[in-house]
Amino acid sequence: MKTQDTLIVDGREVAIEGEPNLLELIRKAGIEIPTFCYHSELSVYGACRLCLVDIEGRGIQASCSARPESGMVVRTRTQEIREMRKISVELLLANHDMDCPTCPKSRSCKLQDLAHKLGVDKVRFKRTHKPKPVDHSSPCLTRDPNKCVLCGDCVRACYEIQGIGAIDFVGRGTSNQVMPAFGKDLNQVECVGCGQCAAVCPTGALSPKREVNQVWRDLENPAKTVVVQIAPAVRAGLGEFFGSEAGATCTGKTVAALKALGFDQVYDTCFAADLTVIEEANEFIQRKTAGERLPQFTSCCPAWVKFTEQFYPELRHHLSTCRSPQQMFGSMARELLPNMLGVKNEDLVVVSIMPCTAKKFEAKLDKFIDADGVADVDHVVTTQGLARMIEEAGIDFANLPPESFDMPMGFRTGAGILFGASGGVSEAVLRYAVEKISDMPLPSVDFHQTRGEEGIREVNLEVNGMMLKLCIVHGLANARTIAEQVKAGQCDYDLIEVMTCPGGCVAGAGQPVSIGRQTIRQRAQALYNNDKTVQIHKSQDNFEVARCYSDCLGDVGGDKAHKLLHTHYQNRRAVINQANSCKGAPALAPTQATCAACEKCGAAV
């Protein structure tokens, strides 16, 4: 019998169980090794030099890039290593703006945390920091190079997870900086605003754009009626700011906190998600039946939509024409609430609380702002932003008694809640579509095949002799793989769900900072559990949504639904496709990016 391979870490024997590197093994042994640039989801970079350990016979090595070997004797906290780690942190601090109290990352900043934990009580080196301009151009993110430690996490997240590469290193040595190509601003390049760069940034160099001040102003203004929607993933993340375990759901407390902050009505984006399910599933059934524009791409993730418009404009007619739940909510709020609440449209302020930074970009799109300049959604605040507001207002979140959403737009089904997890949209659509196609009530609402963590998952099912082939994708690098297959005509999927953030909205960049897989898993599980606890699980059973159709929208996919709930897409390709600009090459085929009803209203493509 083969004995277990082991090595010694700080005098303790630890089993080697296939860890990819020594760092993972040491952490498994319960020893926290400091790092800036190591993320298990990203490639090993080896730049921060904090994970140094002393390996007997080999000297000091970076544990992130050392392989665990049987019989190794490893020391993680010798005097020499502690001094070297301290020196590294001091070196970084010497070239840092040290504006901790005013930094958006204060208290969740790794640099601050490590300086404290490693006992850095003074910086022995000369200050070398020179102020650099802060990039406020993006509606989604703020890039502050003054706080950057050049760990490259953002660069790798953008390139490796999202397949984009909107930012990279520029300049050599001490002139090294992370920035978009040619020194452009973030809003001038192919950034999709997903914010995964900010999610992995250990400092405040990349952070979600703050929009809370505008919200405070409207809350203070007695002339305004401020309503708010909460995205599904928010309820599975906000509690982490206030001491809850990851995966704790805090819907009632969140509602209570928003009311305490002075919001006039608190609604649920899941209500709009139910609307989305009905419209999108209906569109899907039509397209599937007619065999047109398949596969259908989901359209609820704005970063994915921008990605398609930018890199695959020729595929944009595959996108569902449904607006995202946030925007459906916005247009329905503008349609219903002025009458219902007795306010003028311009005095109605619609705020959304989102786990997402790309939603900020989406809300500001011209197509969602009317001729008078009134946006369907006025302000998008991230989960982080809401936590700041709660803290600033001095609300004791942990001890708030839960409250209920306001009706009608606070009524939702479990299907809407699932939107926050990768695979959730597909499951919600199946709960509608399968029932509709088979014309029989579902024996079980759970479609377990849609759930999981793989970046690309296939779901095949047969309904009344009709084969449905779904693909569930998260991470845009994976989406690129699938989009290439679609472009090449190599896949026969009917529906492709794409979520930009790995794991879905629960891992959005507006959520509490963590790209730990376990945390993301727990948040997703919280949503699946939440689905179980509500009474209704299928969007078609949402009677408030049904009432919307009967009182206001008319037919599903009808003219009014089209006007309020659907949209068009544009070509955002920044660099002209060489193949198409070549002489003699066929021009880019005109794409149909309209829903059937569009043709009636004559909307431009």
Partner 1 sequence: MCNCATPGNRSNATAVQTVDLNQVKDAYTQAASVCSRRIVICAGTGCMANGAMKVFDAFHIALQEQGVRVLTAIDPDEPAQASEADEMVLHLSKSGCQGFCQMGPLVSIEPDGILYTLVRADDVADIVGETILKGALVDRLLYRDPQTRQVCRGPEEIAFYKRQTRQVLKMCGAIDPENIAEYISLGGYSAARRAYLMMSPETVCEEITESGLRGRGGGGFPTGHKWELTRVQPGPKKYVICNGDEGDPGAFMDRSVMEGAPHSVIEGMMIAARGIGADEGYIYVRMEYPLAVARVRRAVTDAEAAGILGDDLFGSGLNFRLHVMEGAGAFVCGEETALIASIEGKRGMPKPKPPFPAERGLWDKPTVINNVETLATVPIILREGAKALRGIGMPNSPGTKTFALTGHVANTGLIETPFGATLRQIVYEIGGGVLNDAGAPDPRGFKAVQIGGPSGGCLTPDHLDLTLDYDALRDVGAMVGSGGLVVMNQDTCMVSVARFFMQFTQNESCGKCVLCREGTRQMLALLDDIMEGTATEETLDLLKKLAIAVQKGSLCGLGKTAPSPVLSTLHYFRDEYEAHVRDKKCPAGQCKALADPEILADRCVGCTACARKCPVGAIQGYRKEAHVIDVAKCVKCGVCAETCKFDAIIGV
Minimum CB distance to partner 1 smaller for 34 or for 554: 34
In the complex, the smallest distance separating the C-beta of residue 494 from partner 1, rounded to whole angstroms, is 36
**211 and 377 in contact (C-beta within 8 Å)?**
no
The residue count for binding partner 1 (CB under 8 A) is 38
**197 and 158 in contact (C-beta within 8 Å)?**
yes
Residue 265 three-state SS: strand
Give the H/E segment covering residue 167: strand 167-170
Site for partner 1 in 145-204 (CB under 8 A): 149-150, 152, 168-169, 171-176
Q: Please tell me the number of Cα atoms within 13 Å of 586 on its side-chain side.
A: 3
E strand segments, 430-487: 456-463, 466-474
Binding mask 430-449 for partner 1 (x = CB under 8 A): --------------------
Instruction: Mark 239-264 as b/e (b = at least 16 C-beta within 10 Å).
Output: bbbbebebbbbbbebbbbbbbbbebb
Candidate list 87, 477, 534, 605; residue touching partner 1; CB under 8 A: 87
Across the beta sheet with 59-62, what order do the strands follow? 12-15, 6-9, 73-75, 52-55, 59-62
Minimum CB distance to partner 1 smaller for 27 or for 568: 27
Stretch that binds partner 1, among 79-87, 209-217, 310-318, 487-495 (CB under 8 A): 79-87
Candidate list 4, 106, 128, 404; residue touching partner 1; CB under 8 A: 128
Chain centroid offset of residue 137 CA = 20
Tokens of 203: 């400092």
How many CB atoms neighbour CB 441 within 10 A?
8
Candidate list 124, 344, 448, 600; residue touching partner 1; CB under 8 A: 124
Stretch that binds partner 1, among 87-95, 392-400, 444-452, 574-582 (CB under 8 A): 87-95
In the complex, the smallest distance separating the C-beta of residue 500 from partner 1, rounded to whole angstroms, is 25
Tokens of 382: 């991230």
Q: Residue 411 and residue 373: Cα distance in Å, rounded?
A: 29
Minimum CB distance to partner 1 smaller for 154 or for 386: 154
Residue 556 buriedness (CB in 10 A; 0-12 / 13-18 / 19+): middle
Stretch that binds partner 1, among 80-88, 250-258, 280-288, 336-344 (CB under 8 A): 80-88
In the complex, the smallest distance separating the C-beta of residue 100 from partner 1, rounded to whole angstroms, is 19
- Determine, following the binding rule CB under 8 A, whether residue 64 of this chain makes contact with partner 1: yes
Minimum CB distance to partner 1 smaller for 197 or for 381: 197
**What are the helix and strand counts (H, E) for the chain?**
20, 17
How many CB atoms neighbour CB 147 within 10 A?
25
Candidate list 8, 29, 31, 47; residue touching partner 1; CB under 8 A: 47
Minimum CB distance to partner 1 smaller for 173 or for 586: 173
Candidate list 46, 71, 402, 452; residue touching partner 1; CB under 8 A: 46
In the complex, the smallest distance separating the C-beta of residue 93 from partner 1, rounded to whole angstroms, is 10
Minimum CB distance to partner 1 smaller for 91 or for 98: 91
Candidate list 16, 33, 55, 62; residue touching partner 1; CB under 8 A: 62
Stretch that binds partner 1, among 52-60, 185-193, 303-311, 516-524 (CB under 8 A): 52-60
Binding mask 506-545 for partner 1 (x = CB under 8 A): ----------------------------------------
Give the orientation angle of helix 269-290 with respect to helix 424-438, to 10 degrees.
50
Q: Please tell me the number of Cα atoms within 13 Å of 425 on its side-chain side.
A: 34
Candidate list 14, 45, 383, 597; residue touching partner 1; CB under 8 A: 45
What does each C-alpha distance from 307 to 323, 401, 409, 499 come to in angstroms? 16, 41, 30, 11
Q: Which residues bind partner 1 (CB under 8 A)?
A: 44-49, 52, 59-60, 62, 64-67, 80, 83-84, 87-88, 91-92, 94-95, 124-126, 128, 149-150, 152, 168-169, 171-176
